[in-house]
Chains A and B, each alone.
With several copies, the nearest count.
Chain A
Amino acid sequence: MSPDTMKIDRFELDAGMIERARAAARAITGSMQQHIDAHTTTAVERTVCRLLGINGVDEAGVPLPNVVVDAVADKGKLGQGVAYWLGSACLEHGITLDEAVLDLAIGKLDITACPRPKEEVEKALYPIAASAIERIIENKQKREALIKKLGLGQTPWLYVIVATGNIYEDMVQAKAAARQGADIIAVIRSTGQSLLDYVPYGATTEGFGGTYATQENFRLMRAALDEVGEEIGKYVRLVNYSSGLCMPEIAALGAMERLDLMLSDSMYGILFRDINMERTFVDQFFSRRILALGGLIINTGEDNYLTTDDAYESAHTVIASQFINEQFALAAGLSPWQIGLGHAFQMNPYMEDGLLNEIAQAQLIRQLFPEYPIKFMPPTKYMTGNIFFGHLLNAMFNFVSVLTGQSIHLLGMLTEAIHTPYLQDRHLSIENAKYIMNNARHLADEVVYAKDGRIEKRARAVLEKAVDLLDYIRSRGLMEALEEGTFAAVKRPRKGGKGYDGVVEKSPDYYNPFETLLPRRAPAGGDVTCW
């Protein structure tokens, strides 16, 4: 064992078991890929619009991507892809894309009226699509340059949320947090945004439990963080949520405005927002291909399972889901350093030896996914109005994180059960993490877990149960397993949930210029291709 792998390989695990888990997950996601490749959704098509530069709102305030996609959908012609019709209309009338959208918005133009040969359309749209790809790649390079210049904080990176509802107030708080030592800032979205089937427009100042995700808000916050980053000499990263009914649109906006991380889970929307599963699997794939290109890190949402399920009893469902999310992520062309699998510190604090179980779980995940920037979520479920006690749960969470070498560390707030964070709450939480992580900085190098002890045994038991569950899902099918309530103790019908009407079968002449421009792993399961 080299000194480096020693830090990670703390447990003696059965390599065959791990391979079985990956094989099962590969099979599970592989069979889903057929469904994914055969469908598009209203969200994917709106994303195509956005990437093609369609922006703004109509007179009624409806975002133009929605106007365009709805127009095509109303005609029942979304199966060809919105790009196909936009391209056709431009060619037909000899107008620009902008002109076409404008005319459509004022009801002057039916873009689905005059289909043109696909090759012509492709030729017309390619330069526009390519320049969108260009912009995303430039952002990625800009980020790399800034990181090179300013550097990043030490891991575990401290991740805090701002959630005042007002982007300008958020900027104040985000800058303060960065000065206090935060490495990553997430602007939590307003309650309910994930169920909006459009992305709001412009700078917003009224959200509830969060601030709307809009392109302008992204831009404003990015600028604020760049500014404070220069001041403190650190590249401060920005996060948002590529979840909900606009999953791929937000991914695109994030890639265009140089966000650095995105919450992006293959199943979160299904389980926690009752979004239709057929839709979600299609959306997540397209989203992640964009994120892959943009060099964003994704954060998966397994931590959420433990808010409704028990963290001790259902620890294995987190692991099983991580294997699935991993395979979906690889399929979408994400590199290992982009795959921030999520988990959480959610065991009952009154459990004897609970800390041992948390260490087992965190270390197991670290060891199963050694190259990934694992995201560790704080205790929330057992947080109460007793802020003093809550501060302690967060302390032990911080301790486990530094002890097990987690990467992305979402800070718990002592007021979790009360309100979205106040300025002082965030300060106290950052102080908490900085104290404990610094004070225990190299403890991980100095402790070895007893062979066949409580911790190692627990890790092995969880892994075994996860593998069994994956084998079961493989035999049942993922959609069927979700119908049965395999994850988070939540059951969802395949054809139910929100957004199902936005799922459209691709027609054979479906056209989407980004299909070929975005990375994905060769369907055979080989290397990532950027065709």
Chain B
Amino acid sequence: MLVKPYGDTMNDGAMQLSFTLPMRKGDEAREAARVLLTRMGLDDPQIVHMEAIGEEFTFFVAYGKCTFAVDTDELTVARAQVEKMDFYQINKFIKEHIGRKIKVIGACTGTDAHTVGLDAIMNMKGFHGDYGLERYPEFVAVNMGSQVPNETLVAKAIEMGADAILVSQVVTQKNVHVPNLTRLVELLEAEGYRDRVILICGGPRISHELAVELGYDAGFGPGTVPSEVASYIAQELARRLAQTARDE
């Protein structure tokens, strides 16, 4: 199916935009804004608001009609492959398929001090009425908290023999999280531990796609609940163990 944005009529393509141009407010700035919108494939672009917001800056609000459509049949949705299970199912699954407790370690790495997201996944109380990993009898969960250097995390993970590492990255300005996340992969590889662990990252600007691109096994974005993460870890670990058993 082809879809286009919808204002008040199917396929009208209506979109709202706002942006700033580093130009003095006036006819020329308005025209620049219009041309820009046209280049973006917007039909009938309307500059509905133009305002000076600093000596050489002009703020615009605009509407236009998007001329592109997306074929929904051709979309490929990147998402960690999991079958959703609840608290009880997960613990049962681990007992049956793993036969021992799963060890996980989590941290907000680098200079990041935003612990609320990681805590939501790891702490007892969990998130949105969904228990955190600490509450699962079949998980051993260590939460190292905020601003943990990658080196410290790797050392601790190896020390405890972690099956999974959970990294939270919330500050993403100027893409500061990208080198930090990459560095962790490099360190794990250097230690020869990368293949022995399920490596996961999460945060408001993290997508599964980005995570995979950076060398992680999975990524979790906004609104994630702990059971999704627990399901993934349990199933992925079971899959890997089965694989190893087959290989041997």
Which of A's residues lie within 8 Å of B, judged by CB? 163-166, 169, 172-173, 175-176, 179-180, 191-192, 195, 208-209, 272-274, 307-308, 384-388, 417-424, 427
Contact = CB atoms under 8 A, between A and B. Distances in A.
B140 interface: no
Contacts of B16: 387
B206 to A, nearest CB: 14
B145 interface: yes
Size bin of chain B's contact surface: 35 or more
Contacts of B111: 191-192, 195, 208
B146 A274 contact: yes
Contacts of B176: 191, 208-209
Interface of B: 6-10, 14, 16, 18-20, 46-49, 51, 53-55, 57, 59, 61, 63, 110-113, 115-116, 145-147, 171, 173-174, 176, 204, 222
A277 B108 CA distance: 22
B9 A179 contact: no
B63 A418 contact: yes
A451 B116 CA distance: 39
Nearest to B54: A176
A308 B48 CA distance: 22
B38 to A, nearest CB: 18
Contacts of B8: 163-164, 169, 173, 419-423
A420 B116 contact: no
Given A175-B54, A175-B55, 7 more contacts: A165-B174, A176-B53, A384-B49, A385-B49, A422-B20, A423-B7, A424-B7
A382 B53 CA distance: 20
A229 to B, nearest CB: 15
Contacts of A388: 18, 61
B147 A195 contact: yes
A307 B116 CA distance: 9
A273 B19 CA distance: 35
B54 A272 contact: no
A176 B20 contact: no
Contact of B173 (A272, A417, A420): A420
Contacts of B174: 165, 208
Contact of A192 (B6, B53, B110, B116): B110
B20 A419 contact: no
A427 B59 contact: yes
B112 to A, nearest CB: 7
Main secondary structure of the interface of A (DSSP, over half): loop
Contacts of A192: 110-111, 147
B113 A272 contact: yes
Contact of B7 (A179, A385, A387, A422): A422
A169 B9 contact: yes
Contacts of B19: 424
A172 B16 CA distance: 21
Given A173-B8, A272-B113, A417 B171 contact: no
Contact of B59 (A166, A172, A424): A424
A195 B113 CA distance: 11
A87 B34 CA distance: 65
Contacts of A163: 8, 173
A274 B145 contact: yes
Contacts of B113: 191, 272-273
Contacts of B61: 385-388
A272 B115 CA distance: 10
Main secondary structure of the interface of B (DSSP, over half): loop
B18 to A, nearest CB: 7
Contact of B57 (A274, A386, A423): A423
A163 B9 CA distance: 11
Nearest to B119: A308
Contacts of A164: 8-9
Nearest to A162: B8
A386 B51 contact: yes
A34 to B, nearest CB: 30
Contacts of B54: 172-173, 175-176, 179-180, 423, 427
Contact of B55 (A179, A272, A273, A308): A179
A26 to B, nearest CB: 32
B110 to A, nearest CB: 7
Contact of A424 (B46, B47, B53, B115): B53
A132 B133 CA distance: 55
Contacts of B49: 384-387
Given A166-B9, A195-B111, A385-B61, A424 B18 contact: yes
B48 A385 contact: yes
The 10 closest A-B pairs by CB, nearest first: A192-B111, A385-B48, A176-B54, A385-B49, A427-B53, A422-B7, A208-B176, A386-B49, A209-B173, A191-B111
A413 to B, nearest CB: 12
A417 B204 contact: yes
Contacts of B47: 385
A169 B59 CA distance: 18
Contacts of B59: 423-424, 427
B57 A176 contact: yes
B116 A308 contact: yes
A335 B18 CA distance: 45
B13 to A, nearest CB: 12
Nearest to A165: B174
B48 A418 contact: yes
B84 to A, nearest CB: 24
B24 to A, nearest CB: 13
Contacts of A175: 54-55
A386 B50 CA distance: 8
29 contacts: A163-B173, A164-B8, A164-B9, A165-B174, A173-B8, A175-B54, A176-B53, A176-B57, A179-B54, A180-B53, A191-B171, A191-B173, A191-B176, A195-B111, A209-B171, A209-B176, A273-B113, A308-B116, A384-B49, A385-B49, A385-B61, A385-B222, A387-B48, A417-B48, A420-B8, A421-B8, A424-B19, A424-B59, A427-B53
